[in-house]
Amino acid sequence: MPELPEIEVIRRGLQLHLPGRRIEAVFHNGKALRHEVPLKDMQKVLVGSTIREVGRRAKFLLLHFEAGAVLIIHLGMTGRLGLFPSISPLAKHDHIRWRLDKGLDLRFHDTRRFGSVRLLPAGEAEDREATVFSAVGPEPFSEACSAAYLQRQARRKKQPVKTFLMDMKMLAGVGNIYANECLFTPKIHPARPADDLALDEWQRLILELRAILNHAIDCGGSTISDYLNASGKPGYFQVHFKVYGRTGEPCQCCGTPIEKIQLGGRATYFCPSCQQQGAYSNPRG
């Protein structure tokens, strides 16, 4: 599933082409996605409207329209958004088409159909942080996502720190890949209880997370299976992975083989030497 860097790369790509474009028609092939496709509402609200900008919240893409409506798109596991000439043939899994002016389509392609599209009219769009995103934590790059914030949220939470980082209620947009990667440099074992981390460790962790996310965005994201950016090209951050998917390979720092365990049902990778589970005090407060 695309994580924050992949969605941000897609957002930036679409931002180069969509603002100022007008929706002329909306089509749906009738196949169900994760949620019911609001075809009639989109035809009523969006046709004739102009796209103002492309935003992102967590792993969601937001198309903002001049009249105030917002289209919220989640790509699920295999979803893609791309721009195509309107006369080009449809692919098998092109489920939704937004016909734009100047002979272009914005197309939503989703092989497994776990993605979703939601339309918020102007009045509802203004309150989206209190409604649609009420259970979504702060963005990793925001001032609200500080070491102090993370430590407060982690108080009395015995869950593994990696699982904590992937909890969308605590932190927006961090999935399995980047939760694994950001724990390596601060030498934090992924199974360590979240409430055991001291403030300075949270500080190192959030700085590392931001650095990794920025690097991944610069690389165009990570391509593991289905991810393609807005131009239909894969990302290449995966060549920089330090632990993710490297089971049995030597640690780049000490040479110890990378190990893999399951945490919260997700594959978890770490260096047992650099990220020793017992090599910490037990600070609380």
Catalytic residues: 2-3, 59, 266
By three-state DSSP, how is residue 177 classified? helix
Pairing of strands 70-74, 94-100: unpaired
Instruction: Report DSSP state, residue 234.
Output: -
Closest-CA residue to 85 (of 70, 106, 64, 68): 106
Output helix, strand, coil percentages for the chain, rounded to the nearest 5: 25, 25, 50
Q: What angle do CA 226, 232, 236 make, to 5 degrees?
A: 65
d(CA 165, CA 175): 8
CA distance 60 to 173: 9
How many angstroms separate the CA atoms of 147 and 79, rounded?
33
